[in-house]
Structure 1
Amino acid sequence: MLKKILIAGLIACISMSSFAHFQLIYTNDADISGKSFGGVKKKENFIKNRKMIHFINLSPEEKAEVIKKDPRYGRIICRCENITEGEIVDAIHRKCGAKTLNGVKRRVRPGAGRCQGGFCGPRVQEILARELGEDLEEIVMEQKNSYILTGKTK
C-alpha cells in the first residue's frame, strides 16, 4: 500500500510495508520537484554517504596514516570489538549521530563483544558526555529517563 502526495512542488511518499520504498520513489520523482522549483542542478562532487573508518579492517600503513591525521584513532576503547575513540566520536558527530549509549553501540559496536560493555561502557559514557557537552549523569542508555548514573558517590 503506497500513498503519494504532491504539495506545492514537494513530494511525500509513504509506504505502509517498508521504508525502503521511500528512497526509490524519491529518486524517481526528483525531476518533478526540481521542475516545480525552476530546475535543480546536480552537484558534481557530491558525496552521498561519507564512509566510516573501520579501524580494524585497515592495513598497518593505513592505520598509521589515520592515526597521524587524528590521534583518537590510536586509542582503543572497546578491546572486545577493537573500536577506537575516533570511530566513536565520528559516530556521535555524523548526520543523525548517536546521542545515547545504545545509539553508539548500534552504529559502531562498542559493548557488543564478550564483556557486553563491562569494560568500555563507562569510557563510552565519558566520550558521549564530553562530545555532547553534557554531564555524565545526563547520558542515557536508550531513551528519555533511562539514566545509567544517578549521581556521584564519595
Structure 2
Amino acid sequence: MVVVALLAVWAAAISTSDWISRRVPNAALLLMIVPAVLALMIQGQGLLGESRLGSAGGMLIGFALTFPGYLLRSLGAGDVKFAAVAGLLLGVSRACEMMLGASLLMGALAVIMLSRRLPRQTRFPAAPMLALAFVTEMLAGPLLPVWRR
C-alpha cells in the first residue's frame, strides 16, 4: 500500500505541475520510470505486480493511444510520456481502462470548454485527467469485469 500511496503522490505532483505550468517535467517521469524498470529487471515484475510483458504492453498502449493526439497538437509530449509510464506501471488491461477513463474525463472537460465558448485554440492540461484515471485504476481497478483475472 505504501507503493500505491507514493505513486498517487507522484501522479498528483505531475498533475499539479501540468495544471499550473502546462508542462510535465521529465525529471518527475524519470523519478518513476527508473525504479519501475529496475523492479522489472530485478524482480521480474513491476511495482504494482505486473509481469514484464504486461508492463511493456501497458507502456505501448499508453504511448499508442496518446501519440496521435500529440501529432494533432492536442496533447503535449509530456502527456504522452506520462501515459506511457503510467501504462508501464499498470499493465495492459488496466492501462486500457486508465486510457478509457482519461478519455471520458478529457471529453467532459472539452464539453465544458465548448459551453463556455472558449476559443478552439485554448489548450487544457491532459495530465490531471490522466493522473485521476491512473490513481482511480490503481485503487479500484480493474473496473471492467471482462478483464478481471
Shorter-chain TM-score bucket reads under 0.3
Higher relative CO (Cα under 8 Å, sequence separation at least 6) belongs to 2
* Rg comparison, structure with higher value: 1
Pick the structure with more helix per residue: 2
TM-score normalized by the length of structure 2 = 0.27
Pick the structure with more strand per residue: 1
